[in-house]
Structure 1
Amino acid sequence: MIKTLRLKNQDEILIALGIQDRKLRALEKNFKVTVFVKYDSDGSGAEMSVKGTNSRVDKALAKLQQDLAMNDTTKQLNLVKDSRPFADNIVFRPAHTRPVEARSENQKKYIEAIFSHDLVISSGPAGTGKTFLACACALRALELEMTERIIVTRPIVEAGEKLGFLPGNIEEKVDPYLRPIYDAFYAMLGIEKFNSLKYNNILEIVPLAYMRGRTLEKAFIILDEAQNTLPAQMRMFLTRMGIGSKMIVNGDLSQIDLPNKKESGLLQAAEVLGKLKNVAFVEFSGADVVRHPLVREIVSAYDKYDKKHDKEIK
């Protein structure tokens, strides 16, 4: 006989199938049944068909329904646990320094989008907290067991010095490009905790080129400096998303270092993905700058210069 079970979303798919289908294979082995999975065309859910003798199919379905019910209970507990820290806009509480919190309306909107969407694309000037807040949200998700690991990546685009002329091996050459991400985690975790997460592969910081060929499940993935991706790189990155994962894409369209600025993958992504329902777009402005007060004035001055320059060209 064959019976079916409806999986309503990606969370339920992950619970039923497990990472890399491990739970599905265990279910087939333990209950001596055959399972077929038909995914919805938009990837939002799936239908699971269990084939075997009556008693074995019923027992397998009972186990699946028990797992799904336990997840619903856990979600409710997490919502209660989750509500307290966010009541005062606090995202993450480091042990040794002040809490990380939203300091502008756009930052608050950004944080809310991260926890309510699978993909968030943000753009805005330097100093608006895009990278730092994304890292804080990732640590928060890890703390609440909403994710199993954090992966942060950046494209390596030469702006000034050529990589070949920099001293050291390839890791030492790319390290300066990844340094701002290290700094963000150092500030929130301290060096010892950071090194522990990194050593145990819970936290991974890599150049974008290292992402090719991977499928990342139950992961919180951040792409920083996305304005310097080519369209093909952006497409490659976005298709790394596996079941139970969340992606944050950050960039500053005023700091494109590509030879042809119109080829930015961030620009194209906004156009291509604009109508997808589980993708959120957040745009920061100079008013959201939270660095030295002079940085806000610098951003504003350059914006005025760019607008004036564009008019002169036209």
Structure 2
Amino acid sequence: MHSQIVEFPDNFLLIDLCGAHDRNLAEIERNLEVQILRRGNQLAVHGDADHVAEAVQVLQALYQRLETGKDVAPGDIDRELRMGGSDAAAASEDGGQMEMFRGGRVEIKTRKKMVEPRTEAQKAYVRSLFEKELVFGIGPAGTGKTYLAVAVGVSMFIEGHVDKIILARPAVEAGEKLGYLPGDMKDKVDPYMQPLYDALNDFLPGKQLAKLIEDKKIEIAPLAFMRGRTLSRAFVVLDEAQNATTMQMKMFLTRLGEGSRMVVTGDRTQIDLPRGVASGLHDAERLLKTIPKIGFNYFTAKDVVRHPLVAAIIEAYEADG
């Protein structure tokens, strides 16, 4: 049994670090199999030496976060546990666009919230989104592929690096017939686009988002609507790309214009295309993977940041496959 005592000079910040009824400490104890006891302005951590060292890193990282005036939410604890507290060093601004990546914290600034990657794969993905003109994010649901891409798009739009945001999805009938749904084409297609609206609502105030959509500064549309366009100074996201055909994918990728960024996200295990129709995501990965300027980022069940059961479900299906 190993023990280490850590001192935190500000008692008020220490209260926030511990959380209501010490729930933050309990979460760290549960995940790292340590015991944490509070003595005044000190925390004593007991357990296996490696786990104690990791717990101390996590506690110090969270305390540093509080010192900068930020809150500690469950997602912040989850991130530090996944990162082992190694992402704690604050980094400087990089060209007004984003904090530097050299071992520092990665933060995406939007109008409503600050978004931070919660796994190493997410951090590498965000780095690619800022550094490369075309990025693929491939992996299971719940790993933040689309959410982070939209966050970066909003950040780059706010900073003036792009003039518009375009979010697209293939309107594939996943077991439902569009023709039987009520309303006009927009009414029929909007349910497919709802996850994109949900992400935008997390990053932009409602009235501002509505105005940007009305002014066509933000467009949310089926993939087919991209045909014939050249997209300049735009941040373009193709979501659910596993449901694009090879021809649709080629059409989309060749829309890339001057000053634009493109992100293609998809899950190879969730293809809803008719039997015998090849997935454009699979072909794009095969054909483009050797081009250095294109970023390919992969996620696994370990990167799922939804309910812990989601990761367990994904792992069970992967094991069966």
Q: TM-score, normalised by structure 2?
A: 0.68
Q: Please, which of 177, 191, 202 is the counterpart of residue 206 of structure 2? A: 191
Find the residue that maps to 2:94 and give its secondary structure: helix
The structure-2 alpha-carbon separation of the partners of 1:261 and 1:186, relative to structure 1 and needing over 3 Å to count, comes to: farther
Q: TM-score, normalised by structure 1?
A: 0.70
> What is the aligned partner in structure 2 of residue 249 from structure 1?
264
The structure-2 alpha-carbon separation of the partners of 1:93 and 1:209, relative to structure 1 and needing over 3 Å to count, comes to: closer
Q: Please, which of 154, 157, 161 is the counterpart of residue 142 of structure 1? A: 157
Residue correspondence of structure 1 range 203-214 to structure 2 within 5 A: 203-214=218-229
The structure-2 alpha-carbon separation of the partners of 1:298 and 1:269, relative to structure 1 and needing over 3 Å to count, comes to: same
> What is the aligned partner in structure 1 of residue 129 from structure 2?
114
Residue correspondence of structure 1 range 231-270 to structure 2 within 5 A: 231-260=246-275, 263-270=278-285
Find the residue that maps to 1:291 and give its secondary structure: coil
Q: Please, which of 104, 113, 123 is the counterpart of residue 119 of structure 2? A: 104
Q: Is the 8 A contact 2:110 2:204 kept in 1?
A: no
Deviation of 1:261 after TM superposition, in Å, equals 6.3
Deviation of 1:235 after TM superposition, in Å, equals 0.2
Identity of aligned residues (%): 46
Cα distance per residue 1:138-160 (max 9 Å; x no partner):
01111221111110000010011
Larger helix proportion, structure 1 or 2? 1
Q: Is the 8 A contact 1:153 1:224 kept in 2?
A: yes
Find the residue that maps to 1:240 and give its secondary structure: coil
Cα distance per residue 1:84-136 (max 9 Å; x no partner):
487522112443xx421100000000000111111001110000000100000
Structure 1 gaps, min length 5:
1-77, 307-314
Find the residue that maps to 1:222 and give its secondary structure: strand
Q: Is the 8 A contact 2:98 2:107 kept in 1?
A: no
Q: Is the 8 A contact 2:94 2:100 kept in 1?
A: no
Find the residue that maps to 1:247 and give its secondary structure: strand
Matched, 1:155 2:166: no
Pairs aligned (count): 227
Poorly superposed stretches of 4+, deviation over 6 Å: none
Cα distance per residue 1:197-240 (max 9 Å; x no partner):
11121111110011100001011100000000000000000001
Q: Is the 8 A contact 1:229 1:266 kept in 2?
A: yes
Q: Is the 8 A contact 1:85 1:91 kept in 2?
A: no
> What is the aligned partner in structure 2 of residue 180 from structure 1?
195
The structure-2 alpha-carbon separation of the partners of 1:173 and 1:85, relative to structure 1 and needing over 3 Å to count, comes to: farther
Cα distance in 1 between the residues matched to 2:100 and 2:141: 27
Find the residue that maps to 1:197 and give its secondary structure: helix
Cα distance in 2 between the residues matched to 1:184 and 1:258: 25
Matched, 1:287 2:314: no
Cα distance in 2 between the residues matched to 1:122 and 1:261: 24
Cα distance per residue 1:9-39 (max 9 Å; x no partner):
xxxxxxxxxxxxxxxxxxxxxxxxxxxxxxx
Over aligned residues, Cα RMSD in angstroms? 1.5
Structure 2 gaps, min length 5:
1-92
